[in-house]
Structure 1
């Protein structure tokens, strides 16, 4: 089956990149980005042995989680999030990758107080030169972590970023290396509200570089699912 073959190939490429960097492949998780595929394709993915999926639209995450509630699928949320859409994401996601501004941190803390559950999340950092990308400024993110590290209502577990979409390897690797450097620096700021556990970076076109530079999570859609409308 094409899906199983794609999955196997992606896992092999992750393992190869990890070995090149002297890393254990078991330390890298694959999030299959299922935003373009229907629930029956995700069921086939589960049958092929993969259960960690990522969605980028709040209501779609809610709907797919309901449709696939009888499966062992686990959900990460990886897209832009407005405060009024948190209600679709917070109860479902085991990790939210895209906390990109202070008011979302405040909203997540409020949800934790209201529900009694802290939703694990990552701070998105703007590491490319593209104006359309969201995220905290790299020069400010350590200060943000310092301010929230002792907040008992937050469970921030690391950083996420997207490299520039360019064909040259050098700027992509440089962006990943910069984020990895911030991640390592953030270890000194760990506290009740912040732990440096996850570094989410790398997609279909650049994930081997991300793994070589230290990613613990890669977010891959097309290389797993093929070209879906």
Structure 2
């Protein structure tokens, strides 16, 4: 199927999930995850109106970034808005900051300091999602839910970082409904932070839900969903 056909089908599913949960379609933003597709497919995705593109590693995204952005700034009109959605090594922050508008995987103080340092050099403020390991799986990155509030206090003085939300990855389940408790827990954590922490007042967004489970994530409050296979397909094997 073409990306345009995929978009239409995904839009139907998003609209239905919003209707079921009493939400407006405008509350849900879509990130097209292009990490497993070619440069040509990525160009097709952007040309089809998918303005927000997500990648996991700079070394894989580099060719696509320069092809679509050239020497321009990432937020210039007519350019994609890039989201870094994978685990970010501290020493790679210098490559990513200034090229990716959003970071979805802030999960430790050393990374926060590296992002802040590079952003300060560039004179920018980077919107970040704090990655939370809600499910407790050892294979998942992210901090435990009870550590998020202290972490917000730790990074409060890093003025080149703006925490805007929380991110999580639910376990892959054959029945998407089985992921609901994970997404609900992240929403409840967000609400708790906003009501109980001075630093938590700016935590608005929830980055959660992928191709297999995004409809459940929307029903539980997702404001950003990260869609790869269902939207742009998959041309490369996972590594």
TM-score, normalisation: structure 2? 0.89
Residues 69-148 of structure 1 aligned to structure 2 (within 5 Å): 69=69, 72-148=79-155
- Secondary structure (helix, strand or coil) at the match of 2:146 reads coil
SS of match in other structure, 1:140: helix
- How much does 1:62 deviate? 2.9
Residue correspondence of structure 1 range 50-65 to structure 2 within 5 A: 50-65=50-65
After superposition, the CA RMSD in angstroms is 1.8
Give the 3 Å change call, closer, same or farther, for CA 11–55 of structure 1 in structure 2: same
- Number of aligned residues: 228
Q: Which residue in 1 is equivalent to 2:8?
A: 8
Which of residues 174, 184, 187 in structure 2 aligns to 1:177?
184
Q: 1:222 aligns with which of 216, 223, 229?
A: 229
Equivalent of 2:166 in 159, 169, 187: 159
1:118-168, CA deviations, whole angstroms, 9 ceiling, x for partnerless residues? 211110000123211010111111221233345423211110001111224
Q: Determine if contact 2:209/2:225 at 8 Å carries over to the other structure.
A: yes
Q: Please state whether the residue corresponding to 2:145 is helix, strand or coil.
A: coil
In structure 2, the CA distance between the partners of 1:42 and 1:170, relative to structure 1 (3 Å rule), is: closer
Partner of 2:73: none
Q: Would the aligned equivalents of 1:59 and 1:88 in 2 still touch at CA under 8 Å?
A: no
- 2-side partners of 1:222 and 1:110: how far apart? 35
Q: 5+ unaligned residues in a row in structure 2: which ranges?
A: 71-77
1:206-221 equivalences under 5 Å are: 206-221=213-228
Task: Please state how far the C-alpha of 1:5 moved relative to its aligned partner.
Answer: 0.5
Q: What is the Cα deviation at residue 77 of structure 1?
A: 0.5
SS in 2 for 1:111: helix
Residue 107 of structure 1: how far off its partner (Å)? 1.3
1:169 deviation in Å? 4.3
Specify the alignment match of 1:199 in structure 2: 206
- Kept in 2, the 8 Å contact 1:62–1:92? The answer is no
Match of 2:75 in 1: none
Unaligned runs of 5+ in 1: none
- Whether contact under 8 Å (1:145, 1:186) holds in the other structure is no
User: Does the 8 Å CA contact 1:149/1:194 hold for their aligned counterparts?
Assistant: no
Secondary structure of 1:123's aligned partner: strand
Structure 1's consecutive aligned runs of 4 or more residues displaced over 6 angstroms after TM superposition are none
Instruction: Give runs of aligned pairs for residues 11-30 of structure 1, distance below 5 A.
Output: 11-30=11-30
